[in-house]
Each structure stands twice: as C-alpha cells, then as structure tokens.
Amino acid sequence: EVQLVESGGGLVQPGGSLRLSCAASGFTFSDYWMSWVRQAPGKGLEWVANIKQDGSQKYYVDSVKGRFIISRDNAKNSLYLQMNSLRAEDTAVYHCVRKSPGDWWGQGILVTVSS
C-alpha cells in the first residue's frame, strides 16, 4: 500500500526556517514526480512545488520562489521541503503528494508561522 508520511512541521516565528520531510513507501519512489501541496486555514488547495524523478527539474509557485527548496533522496525514499524566510501566509497544512497533479496524498503536517 502506498504510504506518504510527513514530518518536521510545527510553530516557527516569522523569518524563521523549517524543513519538512516525507517518507514514502509501498511504491518505487524513484519512478515518480513528487509534489508538495498546502492548504491554509479556511482556504483551498494550493500547489507549492514539484520535482522530477531524478531531481533535474523543479518548479515552484511564485509566492515561494527564492524562499523554498524542494529536494529528494531516492536512496532513502524521501522528499523534502526546505522553507526559509517564513511568513504568516505560509501557515498551512502541507501535504506530500505522489505525481503532479497528485494521485496519492499524505495526511499532511501543520506549519504555523506566528510570533
């Protein structure tokens, strides 16, 4: 069974950094594009970033360009999102997603940016 388990969320002050991780299992991780999608409180779904199977292509939504970095380690079946210069508007539940648009979603992890 496909499993995507996010970790690394929590409370961080504006301007701070956080690194999200996603542990994948139940499928051949290196065969798939992977994505991060978020949902702010009371808002809809918003795609954040995605990365090609070998990490050679990465795309970001404009609002996070220059602040967030998506990466992956195929040997560890893991996806990452390094989030820097965090803002209040980055507060959301972040989902790790297989493919783009996704076909399988993790439960999500809450990131709260507040002083």
Contact footprint for other proteins (CB under 8 A): 35, 37, 44-47, 50, 59-62, 95, 100-108
- Nearer of residues 18 and 109 to other proteins, judged by Cβ: 109
Contacts of 10 (CB under 8 A, 6+ apart): 18, 110, 111, 112
In the complex, minimum distance from the CB of residue 46 to other proteins, in angstroms, rounded to a whole number: 7
Residue 67: both structure tokens together: 């602040």
In the complex, minimum distance from the CB of residue 110 to other proteins, in angstroms, rounded to a whole number: 11
- Grouping H, G, I as helix, E, B as strand and the rest as coil, residue 8 is coil
Contacts of 17 (CB under 8 A, 6+ apart): 82, 83, 84, 85, 86
- Nearer of residues 46 and 69 to other proteins, judged by Cβ: 46
- Nearer of residues 13 and 28 to other proteins, judged by Cβ: 28
In the complex, minimum distance from the CB of residue 115 to other proteins, in angstroms, rounded to a whole number: 27
- Nearer of residues 9 and 108 to other proteins, judged by Cβ: 108
Give the residue carrying structure tokens 């995507």.
Answer: 4
